[in-house]
Amino acid sequence: MNECYYDKRMDFFYNKTKTDTADEWTGPQLIVVLCFGTFFCLFIFISNSLVIAAVVKNKKFHFPFYYLLANLAAADFFAGIAYVFLMFNTGPVSKTLTVNRWFLRQGLLDTSLTASLVNLLVIAVERHMSIMRMKIHSNLTKKRVTFLIISIWAIAIFMGAVPTLGWNCLCDITVCSSLAPIYSRSYLVFWSVLNLVVFFIMVVVYIRIYMYVQRKTNVLSSHTSGSISRRRTPVKLMKTVMTVLGAFVVCWTPGLVVLLLDGLNCTYCGIQNVKRWFLLLALLNSVMNPIIYSYKDDEMWATMKRMICCFSEDKGQDRRSSRIPSTVLCRSTDTSGHYIEDGIIQGTICGKGDLGDKGNS
């Protein structure tokens, strides 16, 4: 019967698998890595929060496609949390971790990847439902979209917890991988092949849908008198989704290939030399997505810009009003009128969208 090593620290497994944990990551090099990582993570938190807030605030985004896009932004936000945890539990610190803490570190990364992947798959289904009916948005109800979002996170959490639930090498260290010293090599093969296959399927599906949209749009454009912008809307949405999918595949495929090679026990592939670069590439994916949303969708960018404008103007107003003594405001009706008029003008500029919504209701 094999002996299990649940009570060992990670240095035991790193030594057994001869894994490099970058003991030289000290001093200026470590500071530079932490600074860049912190900057990227802050950008991930702020930008993806803006995307989610834009979908909530703008009524034009209250459709299944944008709810799922907001959930994709939430997955990127979660990825930022996973990277923050990884930053402070990697390098020389890795050897000091307990087994459970190391499982948590990797489980967060696996959960974020799965959440993004399954979300893109659900978006593909939603786009297929709407495009085949030549509609901009599908007829999914809010209850069904909510159920889909809950299901996405349930699947993601389960897949992130699979090694913790038993598919590991704690009781058979001869099958431990090199990159993930307490993961079984068979699990790495399963994980990487599964994700790469899903990548391939989604790329084929999206290309097929996009070609269908282009063909139908060209046919209908010569027989209908609808506005050009309306006919182009489904194509613009598809371009946004395909750009997001393309960035996702480009950023994650190298890392998955490296995991596959490690699972196949490729000792001459030099995977230890490239693992950190591919992890950084995966981090960049969560940075790129909000940029893609705002660049490809004019309404999304306008909403985000309006929220940033209002936030900065509100802070400026609070700061300015705190500097004005009450006696000055009461001294002259002309002066108070000036400040009131100035506040109304700024409120009109910043709250233009809100006033329009109230007027329409």
pLDDT at 315: 55
- For residue 63, give the DSSP letter: S
24-30 long-range contacts (CB < 8 A, ≥24 apart) are 25/91, 25/92, 26/92, 30/91
The residues, ordered by sequence, that sit 6+ positions from 74 with a Cβ below 8 Å of its Cβ are 48, 52, 115
> CB under 8 Å, gap of 24 or more: what pairs does 186-189 form?
186/263, 187/162, 187/163, 187/263, 188/259, 188/260, 188/262, 188/263, 189/260, 189/263, 189/264
Question: Which tokens is 169 given?
Answer: 């090498």
Query: What's residue 149's pLDDT?
Result: 94
Q: What tokens were used for 315?
A: 């802070």
What distance in Å separates the CA atoms of residue 283 and residue 244, rounded to the nearest whole number? Answer: 14
Task: Specify which residues 9 forms β-bridges with.
Answer: 98
Coil vs helix vs strand at 254: helix
Give CA–CA dist 110/161, Å, rounded.
8
Classify domain 10-16+23-221+233-309 by CATH number.
1.20.1070.10
What are the structure tokens assigned to 336, written together? 């108070």
- Beta carbons of 63 and 233 less than 8 angstroms apart: no
- Predicted pLDDT at 138: 67
Amino acid at 66: Y
Please, how many CA atoms are within 13 Å of residue 57, restricted to the half-sphere of its CB? 22
List per-residue pLDDT tens for the chain, 361 residues long.
567 888 888 888 888 776 655 544 556 666 777 787 888 889 999 999 999 999 998 888 888 888 999 999 999 999 999 999 988 888 778 888 999 999 999 999 999 999 999 998 888 888 777 776 666 666 778 888 999 999 999 999 999 999 999 899 898 888 888 888 899 999 999 999 999 999 888 888 878 877 777 777 676 665 555 444 455 556 677 777 788 888 888 888 998 898 898 888 887 777 777 777 788 888 888 888 888 877 777 788 888 888 888 866 655 555 554 444 433 333 334 443 333 333 333 343 344 444 344 444 4
